[in-house]
Amino acid sequence: MESDMNFIVMQNLKMLIKIKNSRFLLAVATLTAFNFIAFMPYFQQPPAHAQSRKIIITENKLLISASANNKFKTFVEKQTYSIAYPQNWFVTRSWRNLVHITNRRLPKTGDGSFPDYLIKTDVQILEENFQSVLTRESSSPSPDGDRLIKRESLKIDGKNAVRLWFTGEGTEMLLTLLPYKGNKTAYMITFYTKNNSHFLPLIERMHSSFKSLN
């Protein structure tokens, strides 16, 4: 009888140990799963965050591509002037003393509005002396309502030049003036929208590349 009781006690003890071991393994498995879930965000970014970061990186690349590191070509108006411009932009001559440099091809027809994507630079030689042009262009606001917001003196082609920044209703403008041979004035003005303000270093570089060939 006593041996039977001992056998039952031993069996119950073994079962209890198995139950305890099973609970321990279950607890370990649960804790491991919890830790994996808790720490998963540190190893795996949510898609939205990853996408946001990708957009930021893309924008940075666009800013870099719009900087002064772009490759330039040189346009030459024979016996008049030369000017450098981004190699993938376009040059259109209206007449000998007026050239358009644009980041896209100029549309043949339009409604007169300025497209958001367009950057347009007019380069011309004015039959007017430098000081007269500077005095007229420095008036703010202009008859068109454009307001002068910045002025800078600098050297271009060995001459004392002046650069003016304007803001208007639909477009921003960067104007560079410098004396030209025969009491004339080299006149470079770029029209762009605020969305394209990050192209300013490139535009300034283009203006500063002007060289008289006379």
| Sheet with strand 211-212: strands edge to edge | 72-77, 81-86, 211-212
Contact 40, 32 (CB under 8 A): no
**Between 214 and 34, the higher pLDDT residue:** 214
pLDDT tens string 27-80: 333 333 333 333 333 334 444 444 444 433 333 444 434 444 579 999 999 999
pLDDT beyond 90 at 102: yes
- Provide, rounded to the nearest whole percent, the portion of the chain with pLDDT above 70: 64
Provide the Cα torsion 8, 11, 15, 16; round to 10°: 60
Chain centre to alpha carbon of residue 7: 84
Cα 5 to Cα 19, 120, 159, 172, distances in angstroms: 21, 102, 115, 100
**Between 59 and 183, the higher pLDDT residue:** 183
Q: Chain-wide mean pLDDT for the chain?
A: 75
Contact 84, 74 (CB under 8 A): yes
CA-based diameter of the chain, in Å? 132
pLDDT tens string 143-168: 677 899 999 999 999 999 999 999 98
pLDDT band, very low/low/confident/very high, at 112 (cuts 50, 70, 90): low
Tell me, what's the pLDDT at 145? 79
**Between 68 and 97, the higher pLDDT residue:** 97
